[in-house]
Amino acid sequence: MAMQISDLKSKWQHDPDATVRLIVRVTDNPSAHVAQVEAHGLVVRYTYSLISALAVQGAAAAALALANEPWIISIEEDKPVRTMPMAGGTNAKPI
Amino acid sequence: MPNPSKLHPNLVERMQVRALADAASLRVIVLRRAGTVGVAANALEGLTETHYTYRLIPASAQSATVAAIHALTERDEIEMIWYDEPVHALLDVSVPLIGAPRVWEGGFTGKGIKVAIVDTGIDPNHPDFTGRIAQMKDFTGEGPADNHGHGSHVASIVGGTGAGSAGKYQGVAPECVLYAAKVLRGDGSGSTSDVMAGIEWAVQQNVQVVNMSLGSDGACDGTDALSVLCDTAMSRGVVMCIAAGNAGPGASTVGSPGCAKTVITVGASSDTDSVANFSSRGPTSDGRVKPDVCFPGVSIVAARAAGTAMGSPVDALYTSASGTSMATPHAAGTCALLLQAKPGLSPQQIKDILMTTTKDLELDPNIQGTGRAQIFEAYQKAVGETPTPSPTPVPTPTPTPGSGCWTMLKNVLGGR
């Protein structure tokens, strides 16, 4: 389950210098917000078109400031994903 | 009193993990003391069938209910009871099992249908992919080649030609057009943002089907960005086939993006039509049923990328692996066949067709979805044919169901 933004803010406040990678969903065309995101000191890694969202990276303190923007719908951590194979045998156990 | 010490741990695990009712039937190997006579089928209530009687050891392969298994442990002549573990469901077994060759006979091999593999890349030099890959794009910084092996394995299940095995390990849609978005690194991991970018790239290439044998940990409700993006791709006409995950058998173990609301979420079954213990279960954290459908995903032999050792390598060109990762490309290949047979089907129509033509494994929907997919039946429904009885029996997996090492004794000794 995704962390609530309040939980994320607490985490960022605890370690404002940490580098964070986030997926930010916005109210409208994400390209229109690239400059605003960058103005907070964050790097825009991707601007998506299927949904209104950007992938950003930067300091937690910058993310804290970004979270207060009115055009932000949600922020979630850019979670790790992985392949889903098991070992080859029939007695394979979950990895 | 039942004597649990006579139950092998593999059988105990099977009965406990699946919480089987007393009436549930299993295939077991029953070992008795030397010089004693075996318990014949029907001699005990719930002991329904003797499949093989071995000569090298005093044992037999039998079907028995859980209650009958416990009753057997009370008998002095019985020494041990094992679960008859199924073994290797090769690609040359799983593809016929779900009925793909019958669709091929109608001229539908996925020809021209664009399928994206969003994964660890594809080995373009593997003979099964010669002339098959239209585009490759790297989102990891490692380059588009598959330095893990997972993506090549998955891609060959979707649409490998089987050229490196004289056609033995042919994929479900052997004439589809492959697109490879490398979003996972050589260690098999990556980030959600790269996966999202890979999906968008695939959609921009006008692919019709996307295979995603990947995911993240933890139950979800389908509102995370990756899940929403996958749902949006579905609404734009792209069929999204997504692995349920390998966190089973516990409930609510389908992670993102398998929890997405409209995608086709795929669980893994075996060649004997049981759902794999590892296959993630529903419901989602907001209470929806998942997976949607099951496809074979246990011990699938498919392409091995050069220089990789994922799974259990069979030879230089092929390796065996299990997981919902392996079940999902069976689904993606199926979608390609259906799209060739009936162009214009929407993703939702394809999902509905797949889900309403399954073989019901009589398990909870949050374990099996609607059951194990049957491609020929799905094809018939897609093209509007009246289902007819199969002219030939459903291809029997080789080795046959219940063909663990014990059953192999039958082959050597001519048992029964």
Is CATH 3.30.70.80 what the domain over A5-77 is classified as, yes or no? yes
Q: Give the torsion through C-alpha atoms of B130, B136, B139, B142, to 10 deg.
A: 40
So what's the pLDDT on residue B197? Answer: 97
Q: Would you state the structure tokens that stand for residue B96, as one six-digit string? A: 């016929």
Q: Would you state the structure tokens that stand for residue B367, as one six-digit string? A: 């374990």
Domain for residue B221, yes or no? Answer: yes
pLDDT over 50 (residue B87): no
CB contact under 8 A, B322 and A94: no
Least confident of B159-168, B243-252, B343-352, B380-389: B380-389
pLDDT over 50 (residue B410): no
3-state secondary structure of B71: helix
CB B407 within 8 A of CB B413: no
Please give, rounded to a whole number of angstroms, the shortest distance from the CA of A84 to a CA of chain B: 5
Per-residue burial over B188-223, b = 16 or more CB atoms within 10 Å of its CB, e = otherwise: bebbbbbbbbbbbbbbeeebbbbbbbbbbebbbbbb
So what's the pLDDT on residue B27? Answer: 85
Partner B contacted by A78 (CB < 8 A):
yes
So what's the pLDDT on residue B387? Answer: 65
Same domain, B220 and B293: yes
First to last CA, chain B: 30
Domain for residue B392, yes or no? Answer: no
So what's the pLDDT on residue B343? Answer: 97
Domain for residue B304, yes or no? Answer: yes
CB A46 within 8 A of CB B147: no
Chain A residue closest to B223 (CA)? A2
Domain for residue B391, yes or no? Answer: no
Q: In chain A, which residue ranges form alpha helices assigned H by DSSP?
A: 5-14, 34-39, 60-66
Partner B contacted by A20 (CB < 8 A):
no
**Confidence band of B389 (pLDDT split at 50, 70, 90):** low
Same domain, B312 and B179: yes
pLDDT in tens, B195-227: 999 999 999 999 999 999 999 988 899 999 999
Of residues B34 and B354, more confidently modeled:
B354
pLDDT in tens, B95-131: 888 889 999 999 999 999 999 999 999 999 999 999 9
State the catalytic residues of B.
Answer: 119, 150, 325
Same domain, B141 and B198: yes
- Phi then psi for residue B205, to 5 deg, are -85, 0
Same domain, B63 and B160: no
What residues of chain A lie within 8 A of the CB of B188, using their CB?
82-83
CB contact under 8 A, A88 and B299: yes
pLDDT in tens, B150-199: 999 999 999 999 999 999 999 999 999 999 999 999 999 999 999 999 99
Same domain, B285 and B328: yes
Of residues A84 and B145, more confidently modeled:
B145
So what's the pLDDT on residue B56? Answer: 67
CB contact under 8 A, A23 and B225: yes
> Could you give the CA distance from residue B255 to residue A83 in angstroms, rounded to a whole number?
12
CB B182 within 8 A of CB B142: yes
pLDDT in tens, B52-61: 787 767 888 8
Instruction: Please provide the average confidence, as pLDDT, over all residues in chain B.
Output: 89
Q: Tell me the CB-side half-sphere exposure of residue B20, using CA atoms within 13 A.
A: 20
Q: Which of B293, B302, B299 shows the shortest CA–CA distance to B371?
A: B293
Same domain, B41 and B55: yes
pLDDT over 50 (residue B413): no
Partner A contacted by B232 (CB < 8 A):
yes
pLDDT over 60 (residue B312): yes
Same domain, B43 and B79: yes
Domain for residue B11, yes or no? Answer: yes
Could you state, in order of their start, the residue ranges of all structural domains in chain A?
5-77
Partner B contacted by A87 (CB < 8 A):
yes
Please give, rounded to a whole number of angstroms, the shortest distance from the CA of A13 to a CA of chain B: 23
B244-254 average pLDDT score: 96
pLDDT over 80 (residue B361): yes
Partner-chain residue, chosen from B190, B219, B310, that has the shortest CB–CB distance to A81: B190
> Could you give the CA distance from residue B302 to residue B299 in angstroms, rounded to a whole number?
10
Domain for residue B335, yes or no? Answer: yes
Domain for residue B374, yes or no? Answer: yes
> Could you give the CA distance from residue B213 to residue B198 in angstroms, rounded to a whole number?
13
What residues make up the domain containing B66? 4-87+400-413
Chain B residue closest to A57 (CA)? B193
So what's the pLDDT on residue B20? Answer: 77
B277-304 average pLDDT score: 96
pLDDT in tens, A32-68: 999 999 999 999 999 999 999 999 999 999 999 999 9
Partner-chain residue, chosen from A84, A90, A91, that has the shortest CB–CB distance to B325: A84
CB contact under 8 A, A92 and B150: no
So what's the pLDDT on residue B412? Answer: 26
Least confident of B121-130, B210-219, B336-345, B401-410: B401-410
**Confidence band of B88 (pLDDT split at 50, 70, 90):** very low
Same domain, B132 and B118: yes
CB contact under 8 A, B193 and A21: yes
Please give, rounded to a whole number of angstroms, the shortest distance from the CA of B307 to a CA of chain A: 17
So what's the pLDDT on residue B400? Answer: 34
- B150 to B171, B236, B316: CA distances (angstroms): 15, 27, 15
Domain for residue B389, yes or no? Answer: no
Count of domains for chain B: 2
Same domain, B195 and B58: no
Same domain, B242 and B329: yes
The beta strands (E) that lie in chain A are given as: 19-26, 43-47, 53-59, 72-77, 80-83
CB contact under 8 A, A84 and B243: yes
% of chain B residues with pLDDT over 70:
90
Please give, rounded to a whole number of angstroms, the shortest distance from the CA of B162 to a CA of chain A: 19
Please give, rounded to a whole number of angstroms, the shortest distance from the CA of A45 to a CA of chain B: 8
Sign for the pseudo-dihedral over CA of A5, A9, A11, A12: positive
Question: Which positions ≥6 away from B278 have C-beta within 8 Å?
Answer: A86, A92, A93, A94, B246, B247, B248, B249, B268, B322, B323, B324
CATH number of the domain encompassing residue B31: 3.30.70.80
Other beta carbons less than 10 A from residue B78's beta carbon: 20
What residues of chain A lie within 8 A of the CB of B196, using their CB?
23, 46, 48, 53, 55
**DSSP label at residue A31:** G
pLDDT over 70 (residue B71): yes
So what's the pLDDT on residue A84? Answer: 77
Partner-chain residue, chosen from A48, A49, A87, that has the shortest CB–CB distance to B311: A87
Same domain, B81 and B128: no
CATH number of the domain encompassing residue B372: 3.40.50.200
Question: Which positions ≥6 away from B134 have C-beta within 8 Å?
Answer: B114, B177, B178, B179, B205
3-state secondary structure of B120: coil
Partner A contacted by B24 (CB < 8 A):
no
So what's the pLDDT on residue B18? Answer: 61
Same domain, B404 and B332: no
Partner-chain residue, chosen from A21, A81, A88, that has the shortest CB–CB distance to B322: A88
